Amino acid sequence: MTEGKSSKPVRPLRTPASGLTLLGWFVGAAAAFYLLFFLITLVLRRAPAPIGENADLFTSAAQTTLYLTLAAGAIGLVIGLIVGLARTSGFFLFRWLGGIYVWVIRGTPLVLQIVFAYNALPLIFQALHIPIQLNDFWSAVLALALNVGAYNAEVIRAGIQAVPRGQTEAARSLGLSGAQTMQSIVLPQALRIVVPPLVNNLVALLKDSSLASVIGILELFNQGSRVASSTFQFVPVYVTLAVVYLALTTVLTLFTDVLEKRVQVAGR
């Protein structure tokens, strides 16, 4: 094999995680969260007022928080990958558009983005005769996805740029096209680099989902605020919210750590 500038042989890395492994991971995560919500309900029902009598409401709101996080996180990952690739593209227009998107999203408050998606975006769709209607849940998902997508894009861009240039040059010297080099050589190596910060973004997204309360979504923080306002028991309610958020982030972190280790091992 012809030697490039890199001393390591250029070969496609193994797939970070097989479909069966990912399926098992998703099933395990779903089972863990199902058990978590069961335990949350069981524990909160035994708590004194006003927690015990509102235990089911807290559990339902926590589920909404998780749904917001997972839906926005999945869409935001796709957006981040597309924009991250655009930011490292050889075409100036792609780099410029990606840069504008990241600049706007990172330079404006998330709460403004949520309100804009809920109140202003439908008016824009209507003016452009675009037959799309968003309810409050999907407005929040869209805003959260666009927000986390910008941060994911910067993470993925940094991961791609962290792969030694010699790897790309050696691959191109072997006859691989730019797309083949990116798919087989660069992205598998970049994935090992970007998984930890992407996981951090997902955990931060779960906490940022509390801002969806500004458009009336009954996620965990909004539900807790309503209970606290109606009972004036602010200390027990806010402590309960903190404990439930900690439980959600802990379980999410445990399973993302497992996925991170699987990607690291498979990439060796």
The pLDDT of residue 41 is 95
Token pair of 176, please?
């691989």
pTM exceeds 0.85? yes
End-to-end CA distance of the chain: 21
Q: Which of 226, 256, 257 is nearest to 241 (CA)?
A: 226
Q: Which of 118, 80, 134, 117 is nearest to 102 (CA)?
A: 80
pLDDT for 130-141, tens place per residue?
A: 888 899 999 999
Rounded to 5°, angle at Cα 140 from 252 and 228: 75
Q: DSSP state, 13? A: P
Q: Check pLDDT > 60 for residue 217.
A: yes
Rounded Cα distance between 188 and 184, Å, is 7
Mean pLDDT of 49-65: 96
Token pair of 252, please?
């999410």
Which structural domains are found in the chain, ordered by start? 41-266 (1.10.3720.10)
Given its phi and psi angles, is residue 5 left (phi above 0), alpha (psi -120 to 50 degrees) or beta?
A: alpha
Mean pLDDT of 112-132: 93
Model confidence band, residue 143 (pLDDT cutoffs 50, 70, 90): very high
Which residue would you say has higher pLDDT here, 171 or 230?
230
